[in-house]
Amino acid sequence: MPRLSAEKINEIRQSVDIVDVIGNYLSLQKKGRNYVSLCPFHDDSHPSMSISPERQIYMCFVCHNGGNVFTFLKNYLKIPYIEAVKMVASMGNIDISEYNLEKRVQPVEQKFEPLYKMHDEANKIYNHYLNTKLAIDAKEYLTKRKITDEIIDMFEIGYAPSNNILLKAFEKMNFNKVSMYESGLVIESNAGYDRFSNRIMFPLHDANGRVVGFSGRIYQPSQNESKYMNSPESDIFIKGETLYNYHRVIEETRQAGFVIITEGFMDVIALYKAGIKNAVAIMGTALTKGHVSLLKRLSKTVYLCLDGDKAGKNATIKSIDILLHEGFTIKVVDLPENLDPDEFLDKKGGDELESLIKSPLSSLDFKMNYYYEMTNMDNYDDRKKYLETIAKEISNLSDIIDQDYYIQQLEKKSGFSKETITRLVSDKNVSKIEQVNPSNYIPYQKSIRLIDKYVRAERDLLYYMMNDKNVAMMYEAKAGFMFNDTYRIIASYIVDYYRQEVVLEVADLISSIEDENLVKNIVEISQLELPELQDSKAIEDYIEIIKEKTVRIKVEELTKALKDTFDPKQKAQILKEIIALKDKE
Ligand SMILES: [Zn+2]
């Protein structure tokens, strides 16, 4: 049975009108071109939800819940996405009985065998090339980053040269073109070409230790591309079901009694350098159900060691809630100064990293600090909200001594009396207090600051990309990169979308995206009302602004490299590059 294709899902979506469907559940009023309604996703007293018949999407201007007809049913009825698709199909009288609606099937199917073979072969080829003349600079970079031969062997690090080496090898081995493209290792074009070229290669394995994808890193300051490039998802590589290093840590985790979760594979390698061998990485996605079931097989105790920046902290809060719900014991390694583990190791050394991991915070301590930093304690309402949020968490603790400890902590932080806190914690109604969603939590200082010029440029550019294929093509050709993680992913979805289509329907674009945060952002950006483009000059300006930031970051990197270099010849070379870059600014 075939799986539901994106086309079929769009056909299902188009078989109904979102206004009719939402109208079945909420009372709608016409307002201009749109309909409005009280929002069911937050405590709404004025109609804050807007439904666009033209675009077939909805959005709440207060809580930012938004999406297409599937998103609405999924959120409103609290059903899985696929159930929402089934419901709409039956409303629109579309027969889907011949489709396989199960989640991806796990057992190795015969037809995936070529994909595994190609990845295995690619890994061998990349490993081989790291020891050739072509990779002298790459090898030097690794040495500079203190990545020793032992680490190279351990993590099977390799090098992708720039002469379509895989394409040639696969042709010799008689793989067909379709399989090559499906593997993601070769990109489709008239002749086809290797996805990875002139990059240091890190293989990604599945739970059984088979290579299913790669991440390639640039290593020269002059390389004007995104720092990391990952394999696209394929039949054998599903990001939400892949934990980097999983197959190597089973024994180490059993001995240590816990597993450490980091964001990226460089963090796993950094911890390894510091002698800590029980770490895995979620490869830049949010923690998924797939990750959780892998983790369950490893250990019931998890140390979250995500990046120390705002995004990392938000992700930590979300991961805590998911893992607590699944019965894990959680500790948090709270990295200071916005650092990730790799940067921390670089700055402070292995001993400090080890001692940080040996003294993790409890998940509640982390939450208390996190929300405290984000709350304006001079504002009574905000302070009260903080009190309620943490009191609810304390009421969930089963240990009375723990409860007492945290009540004291909360007294110090919130300024409310111990009596008030104790009463609130034991109040039955405390469980009804609404959980604060970190991504909806607007930090106190940030809300009054203007949004960063670079972030704005990226956001606006996305808006124009959604409205005009030419802009998306220009972006791909001239920039191909955004700094904001969310925006970068959205941009790649848009570019991908235009490979098949000429006009972008926001409602269709989000059909294929499961991540709620991405959907929310896409809907929000699509609702911006930016002036119509007169010519391509405005777009060129946006791309210039993004590039300007690239240059700035590169100058920073080079300046750092300059400090670390002792060879006068190299120093001169780096200096030359800096000057050349500064001229461009
Ligand atoms: Zn709302």
Q: Are residues 456 and 583 in the same domain?
A: yes
State the CATH number of the domain containing residue 352. 3.40.1360.10
Report how far ligand 1's centroid is from the alpha carbon of 65 (Å).
6
* Residue 122 resides in a domain: yes
Q: Are residues 462 and 584 in the same domain?
A: yes
Report how far ligand 1's centroid is from the alpha carbon of 570 (Å).
57
* Residue 445 resides in a domain: no
Report how far ligand 1's centroid is from the alpha carbon of 40 (Å).
6
Report how far ligand 1's centroid is from the alpha carbon of 374 (Å).
22
Strands (E) in 22-140, as ranges, are: 29-31, 34-37, 49-52, 57-60, 66-67
Q: Are residues 403 and 483 in the same domain?
A: no
Domain end position, chosen among 210, 237, 264: 237
User: How far, in Å, CA of 456 to CA of 123, rounded?
Assistant: 40
Q: Are residues 353 and 231 in the same domain?
A: no
Strands 301-304, 329-332: pairing kind: parallel
User: How far, in Å, CA of 245 to CA of 280, rounded?
Assistant: 5
Q: Are residues 257 and 341 in the same domain?
A: yes
Q: Are residues 140 and 219 in the same domain?
A: yes
| Amino acid letter, 408 | Q
Q: What residues does 60 pair with on adjacent strands?
A: 49
Q: Which of the pair, 399 or 106, is modelled with greater confidence?
A: 399
Q: Are residues 461 and 585 in the same domain?
A: yes
| Amino acid letter, 59 | M
> Would you state the pLDDT for residue 436?
56
Share of the chain above pLDDT 70, in %: 94
Q: Region 61-67: what's the mean pLDDT?
A: 88
Would you say residue 105 has pLDDT above 50? no
* Residue 200 resides in a domain: yes
> Would you state the pLDDT for residue 181?
87
Cβ(305)–Cβ(270) under 8 Å? Answer: no
CA 563-567-571 angle, to 5 degrees, is 55
Would you say residue 435 has pLDDT above 80? no
> Would you state the pLDDT for residue 73?
92
Q: Which of the pair, 262 or 286, is modelled with greater confidence?
A: 262
Report how far ligand 1's centroid is from the alpha carbon of 61 (Å).
7
The CB density around residue 208, as the number of other CB atoms within 10 Å, is: 10
Cβ(308)–Cβ(339) under 8 Å? Answer: yes
The 3-class secondary structure across 499-546, one letter per residue, is CCCCCCCHHHHHHHCCCHHHHHHHHHHHCCCCCCCCCCHHHHHHHHHH
Q: Are residues 118 and 231 in the same domain?
A: yes
Q: Which two tokens stand for residue 451?
A: 């949004």
Would you say residue 358 has pLDDT above 60? yes
Report how far ligand 1's centroid is from the alpha carbon of 60 (Å).
5
Would you say residue 50 has pLDDT above 60? yes
User: Phi, psi (5° rounding) for residue 95?
Assistant: -80, 120
Q: Which two tokens stand for residue 239?
A: 């990001």
* Residue 403 resides in a domain: yes
Domain around 567: 452-585
Would you say residue 414 has pLDDT above 70? yes
In the block, tokens 């990349």 appear at 126
Q: Which of 7-21, 230-244, 358-372, 545-559 shows the lowest per-residue confidence on average (mean pLDDT)?
A: 545-559
For 112-150, what is each residue's pLDDT tens digit? Answer: 888 999 999 999 999 999 999 999 999 999 999 889 999
pLDDT band of residue 585 (cuts 50, 70, 90) is: low
Report how far ligand 1's centroid is from the alpha carbon of 447 (Å).
19
> Would you state the pLDDT for residue 103?
47
In the block, tokens 């994808």 appear at 213
Q: Which of 64-68, 197-201, 372-376, 439-443 shows the lowest per-residue confidence on average (mean pLDDT)?
A: 439-443
Q: Own/partner pairs for 356-360, CB < 8 Å, 24+ apart? A: 357/260, 357/271, 357/276, 357/303, 357/305, 357/333, 360/303, 360/331, 360/332, 360/333, 360/334
> Would you state the pLDDT for residue 579?
83
* Residue 548 resides in a domain: yes
pLDDT band of residue 106 (cuts 50, 70, 90) is: very low
> Which of 228-232, 259-263, 454-458, 558-562 is modeled with the greatest confidence?
259-263
Q: Which of the pair, 189 or 449, is modelled with greater confidence?
A: 189
Report how far ligand 1's centroid is from the alpha carbon of 48 (Å).
6
Would you say residue 540 has pLDDT above 80? yes
| Amino acid letter, 392 | K
CA 353-143-577 angle, to 5 degrees, is 105
User: How far, in Å, CA of 70 to CA of 86, rounded?
Assistant: 9
pLDDT band of residue 212 (cuts 50, 70, 90) is: very high
Q: Which of the pair, 498 or 582, is modelled with greater confidence?
A: 498
* Residue 571 resides in a domain: yes
Contacts of residue 554, defined as CB under 8 A and 6 or more positions apart, other chains included, come to: 221, 581
Report how far ligand 1's centroid is from the alpha carbon of 559 (Å).
46
Q: Dihedral through CA 487, CA 65, CA 83, CA 316, nearest 10?
A: 60
Report how far ligand 1's centroid is from the alpha carbon of 168 (Å).
54
> Would you state the pLDDT for residue 477?
84
Report how far ligand 1's centroid is from the alpha carbon of 463 (Å).
22
Strands (E) in 208-254, as ranges, are: 211-217, 228-230
User: How far, in Å, CA of 302 to CA of 332, rounded?
Assistant: 8
Domain end position, chosen among 237, 258, 279: 237
State the CATH number of the domain containing residue 227. 3.90.980.10
Q: Are residues 257 and 231 in the same domain?
A: no
Report how far ligand 1's centroid is from the alpha carbon of 476 (Å).
34
Mean model confidence pLDDT for the chain: 85
pLDDT band of residue 110 (cuts 50, 70, 90) is: low
> Would you state the pLDDT for residue 442?
41
> Would you state the pLDDT for residue 148?
93
For 224-273, what is each residue's pLDDT tens digit? Answer: 777 888 898 888 888 888 999 998 998 888 888 899 999 989 999 999 99
Would you say residue 155 has pLDDT above 90? yes
Would you say residue 101 has pLDDT above 80? no
Would you say residue 451 has pLDDT above 60? no
Report how far ligand 1's centroid is from the alpha carbon of 43 (Å).
7
Q: Which of the pair, 323 or 454, is modelled with greater confidence?
A: 323
Cβ(217)–Cβ(202) under 8 Å? Answer: yes
Would you say residue 446 has pLDDT above 70? no
Report how far ligand 1's centroid is from the alpha carbon of 59 (Å).
8
Share of the chain above pLDDT 90, in %: 34
Report how far ligand 1's centroid is from the alpha carbon of 439 (Å).
14
Report how far ligand 1's centroid is from the alpha carbon of 20 (Å).
19
**If you write DSSP's letter for every residue of 211-249 in order, what string do you get?**
EEEEEEE--STT--S-SEEEPPP-SS--GGG--BTGGGS
Closest CA to 492 of 468, 475, 515, 516: 475
Q: Are residues 209 and 171 in the same domain?
A: yes
Domain end position, chosen among 204, 237, 270: 237
Report how far ligand 1's centroid is from the alpha carbon of 42 (Å).
5
> Would you state the pLDDT for residue 182?
86
* Residue 524 resides in a domain: yes
Q: Region 156-176: what's the mean pLDDT?
A: 92
State the CATH number of the domain containing residue 35. 3.90.580.10
* Residue 362 resides in a domain: yes
Q: Are residues 571 and 466 in the same domain?
A: yes
- For the chain, the domain total comes to 5
For 291-317, what is each residue's pLDDT tens digit? Answer: 988 888 888 899 999 988 888 888 899
State the CATH number of the domain containing residue 506. 1.10.860.10
> Would you state the pLDDT for residue 412?
87
User: How far, in Å, CA of 453 to CA of 207, rounded?
Assistant: 42
> Would you state the pLDDT for residue 111?
67
SS3 category, 103: coil
Closest CA to 116 of 2, 234, 196: 234
Start-to-end C-alpha separation, the chain? 56
Q: Are residues 315 and 425 in the same domain?
A: no
pLDDT band of residue 407 (cuts 50, 70, 90) is: very high
Report residues near ion ligand 1: CB below 5 Å.
39, 41-42, 60, 62-63
> Would you state the pLDDT for residue 557?
75
pLDDT band of residue 179 (cuts 50, 70, 90) is: confident
Would you say residue 66 has pLDDT above 70? yes
